[in-house]
């Protein structure tokens, strides 16, 4: 029995040894991650430029027009508005955008016009009666006359004057109502007209948006005291990577009022308030209303980043660099400044601790997996930034 147990133990050890050493060698087992990574970087021979690691604040936001107004239908708008501008027009302040008829006013004008017509008939009848009275007076013998001609004239003239007063009042009422019958809506600022294609009851008549754009973002209370108005910012479009420079133009001192759900306090423990921030843009090229952007604020006195010129590439008129980001090659669009010898100043587009690929023995491109590896000197390259 003891011998049998020994044989079983020897068999188990043999199986383990075969699994660890023999099978991997037979089937070309996978080398360790470190050896594979080292081989890859040695083959590529990548030279890096390290962006200085500086403290930064990130602000995510959405591009919005500086001024915007949607012109909705109101209760008085009982008729279809007559639009006086075209879709896409850029209009100046006080330009008439559309007019509409207030039909209630129109009804009042019609009623006043009916009154004027009746007053005109009444006046004509007074003159007819006046003329008949004069004729009767002239045909009556002098000794039979009970009144004189002057009294007849005075009586009928008073009646005419009374009707004329009513006519004057109605005419003034019509004139006043006529100024309110057609209501014109004017532009309050210079902007671009947008007319909805779908005309449903909830759609506005049109929208007016200014050509000036800014980024509306939020910053949490942890970073609020680190930023200030007029502080420079580097901004990039999330979808396209387009980069521009700008600055903080406004910081709200009060957080927006949070709406607490039932049974939950708006000041729940562990949560942080967010504050509204506005950022102006130095250029609107490649920027559209509604784009999502990320702003990077460099804290402290940071020097301009000088990158070797051979690390900067160009495609379709856009400058970019390739960055080793956690072992994969990504593209960062950048805005370049002046050249200084063999280097180029990068105004925006880079992030703190970016590892820029300057050169390589074998071509690398966006999307390649290259690992962290070693640099050209053979020393271990710094870990990708967190």
Domain spans of the chain, in order of start: 33-54+304-386, 55-66+212-259+266-301, 68-186
Lowest mean pLDDT among 3-12, 94-103, 212-221: 3-12
Contact 186, 96 (CB under 8 A): yes
Topology of domain 55-66+212-259+266-301, CATH: Elongation Factor Tu (Ef-tu); domain 3 (2.40.30)
Lookup result for tokens 């660890």: 20
Structure confidence by residue, pLDDT tens digits, 330-351 = 998 888 888 889 999 888 788 8
Considering only CA atoms, which of 237, 221, 343 is closest in space to residue 290? 237
Structure confidence by residue, pLDDT tens digits, 319-333 = 899 999 888 999 988
Compute the chain's Rg from CA coordinates: 43
Distance CA 337, CA 345 (A): 5
| Arithmetic mean of pLDDT, 124-147 | 88
Give the Å distances, CA to CA, from 175 to 44, 102, 106, 166: 87, 15, 12, 14
Structure confidence by residue, pLDDT tens digits, 76-112 = 666 788 899 999 999 999 999 999 888 889 999 999 9
The chain-wide mean pLDDT, for the chain, equals 82
Lookup result for tokens 């501008």: 85
| Arithmetic mean of pLDDT, 370-375 | 60
CB < 8 Å & 24+ apart, contacts of 75-83? 76/102, 76/104, 76/183, 78/102, 78/103, 78/104, 79/103, 81/205, 83/195, 83/205, 83/206
| Arithmetic mean of pLDDT, 282-300 | 91
pLDDT of 386 reads 33
Lookup result for tokens 């460099």: 298
Structure confidence by residue, pLDDT tens digits, 11-45 = 565 555 555 555 555 444 444 444 444 434 446 78
pLDDT of 258 reads 56
Full-model pTM: 0.56
Is residue 271 very low, low, confident or very high in pLDDT (cuts 50, 70, 90)? confident
| Arithmetic mean of pLDDT, 243-266 | 75
Which residues have CB under 8 Å from 206's CB, separation 6+?
70, 71, 83, 85, 97, 98, 193, 194, 195, 196
Query: Which CATH number describes the domain made up of 33-54+304-386?
Result: 2.40.420.20
């Amino acid at each position: 029995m003891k011998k049998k147990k020994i044989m079983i133990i020897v068999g188990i050890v043999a199986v383990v040894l075969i699994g660890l050493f023999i099978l991997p060698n037979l089937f070309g087992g996978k080398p360790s991650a470190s050896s594979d990574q080292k081989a890859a970087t040695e083959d590529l021979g990548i030279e890096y430029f390290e962006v200085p690691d500086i403290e930064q604040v990130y602000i995510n936001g959405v591009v919005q027009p500086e001024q915007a107004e949607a012109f909705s239908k109101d209760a008085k708008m009982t008729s279809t508005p007559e639009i006086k501008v075209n879709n896409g027009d850029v209009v100046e302040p006080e330009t008439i955008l559309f007019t509409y008829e207030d039909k209630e006013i129109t009804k009042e004008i019609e009623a006043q016009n009916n009154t004027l017509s009746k007053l005109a008939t009444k006046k004509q009848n007074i003159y007819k009666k006046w003329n008949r009275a004069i004729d009767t007076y002239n045909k009556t013998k002098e000794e039979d006359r009970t009144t004189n001609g002057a009294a007849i004239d005075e009586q009928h003239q008073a009646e005419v004057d009374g009707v004329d007063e009513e006519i004057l009042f109605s005419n003034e009422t019509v004139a006043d109502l006529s100024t309110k019958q057609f209501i014109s809506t004017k532009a309050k600022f210079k902007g671009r007209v947008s007319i909805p294609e779908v005309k449903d009851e909830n759609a506005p008549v049109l929208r007016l948006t200014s050509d000036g754009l800014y980024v509306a973002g939020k910053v949490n209370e942890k970073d609020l005291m680190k930023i200030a108005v007029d502080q420079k910012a580097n901004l990039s479009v999330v979808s396209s990577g387009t980069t521009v420079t700008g600055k903080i133009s406004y910081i709200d001192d009060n957080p927006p009022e949070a709406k607490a759900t039932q049974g939950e306090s708006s000041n729940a423990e562990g949560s942080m308030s967010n504050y509204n921030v506005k950022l102006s843009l130095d250029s609107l090229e490649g920027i559209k209303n509604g784009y999502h952007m990320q702003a990077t604020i460099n804290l402290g006195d940071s020097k301009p980043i000088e990158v070797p010129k051979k690390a900067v590439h160009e495609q379709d008129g856009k400058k970019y660099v390739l960055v080793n980001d956690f072992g994969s090659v990504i593209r960062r669009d950048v805005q370049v400044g002046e050249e200084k010898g063999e280097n180029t100043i990068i105004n925006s587009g880079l992030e703190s601790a970016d590892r820029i690929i300057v050169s390589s023995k074998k071509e690398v491109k966006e999307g390649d997996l290259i690992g962290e590896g070693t640099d050209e000197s053979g020393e271990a390259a710094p870990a990708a930034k967190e």
